[in-house]
Amino acid sequence: MRTLLSGRLAAAASAVALCLGLAGGVAEAQQANTFDVIKARGMLNCGVNTGLAGFAAPDSQGVWRGLDVDLCRAVAAAMFGDATKVRFVPTTAQQRFTALQSGEVDMLARNTTWTLSRDTSLGLDFVAINFFDGQGFMVKRSLGLKSAKELDGATICVQPGTTTELNLADWFRANNLRFTPVVIERLEEVNQAFFSGRCDALTTDVSGLAAVRSTQGPRAEEYVILPEVISKEPLGPVVRHGDSRWADLVRWSFYAMVEAEELGLTSANIDQHLNSQNPAIQRFVGAAGGLGQMLGVDNRWAYNIIKQVGNYGESYARNVTPIGIPRGQNELWTRGGQMYSPPMR
């Protein structure tokens, strides 16, 4: 009897394991098939910031604008030949990874820092760096501070669930300084807390500080970003792990924007280069090389990106330059920066 019962229990356990295995296999198959799911849906769901000037924010007409927004549109242009086929999904710092893991969004283009732990423990993959950044501090000019090392004992506004929060604690500990964190999840609320005087300083990526300061209009000059940059913050698009076909398209859609700037191709002049004898340009516009076929899209995929969205420099000038951030590290490698596309061939 015991043997029969044990056998039945073992069989039941095997059946459960098989069902779980099949369910896991289906989930993995669905995850690894994002490209086809998006293609069939006819629309890209792109996770972006809830509102960060220069990177992702709706304008006065409700149209999303920004460097990250342009990347979402570039991917849509590559896949569908139509940069408008994208739905922007605002996500907070704490929601963003869950939104991607659950399939609510197909990719993140949300000023997100590439770190080892995020790359290995969240089931996600970073596919490129579209903005090189670093963390800093902003204070009222009237405080007369010249260095972040003068913030001993300060209250500092910071968002939870970010590398910013971790870097803040590390830097103050390393410099034997004290601080009191004011931790607020929503970006709009943490910024308001700073401007209302609830904390002495605001800390985030320098690009974020410049973006926030730019929203103050004439009062922007009342605030100063201190000189210390306390971290490396390589920001870039993120997809789910194990989804290499989709990752390839997101990765090369961004690099197409960089390559176009290197080649001198812009949204205004690319049509003039359709019959170029330059082999690199021929491959880029789809006249040779079959690069689109390798990615599973039309061979004019890169042309569509530049014609409809523009190259990286155009996107930067349109979105980031107005908030007061020079190209710096984000300049092309040929001009002393770090922006560099692998060979498109």
Counted residue by residue, the chain has a size of 345
Torsion 50-211-167-125 (CA) sign: positive
Q: What does pTM read for this prediction?
A: 0.86
Give the residue extent of every domain in the chain: 34-132+235-335, 135-231
Evaluate whether 34-132+235-335 and 135-231 have a shared fold.
yes
| C-alpha–C-alpha distance, residues 163 and 233, integer Å | 8
The amino acid that residue 112 corresponds to is: T
Distance CA 213, CA 233 (A): 19
What top-level class would CATH report for the domain 135-231?
A: alpha beta
Q: What is residue 337's predicted lDDT score, i.e. its pLDDT?
A: 98
DSSP per position, 256-307: HHHHHHHHT--TTTGGGGTT---HHHHHHHTSSTTHHHHHTS-TTHHHHHHH
pLDDT of residue 161: 86
pLDDT number for residue 32: 57
The CATH number, out of the four listed (3.40.640.10, 3.20.20.140, 3.40.190.10, 2.60.40.10), of the domain defined by the range 34-132+235-335:
3.40.190.10
Beta bridge partners of 58: 64
User: Per-residue confidence of the chain (345 residues) as pLDDT tens digits?
Assistant: 333 334 443 444 444 333 434 333 434 444 559 999 999 999 999 999 999 999 999 999 999 999 999 999 999 999 999 999 999 999 998 999 999 999 999 999 999 999 999 999 999 999 999 999 999 999 999 999 999 999 999 999 999 989 999 999 999 999 999 999 999 988 899 999 999 999 999 999 999 999 999 989 899 999 999 999 999 999 999 999 999 999 999 999 999 999 999 999 999 999 999 999 999 999 999 999 999 999 999 999 999 999 999 999 999 999 999 999 999 999 999 999 999 999 999
Look at residue 37 and give its three-state secondary structure: helix
Please report, for residues 10, 30, 216, the alpha-carbon distance to residue 192 in angstroms, rounded to integers and kept in the order given. 60, 41, 11
The residues with which 126 forms a beta bridge, in sequence order, are 238
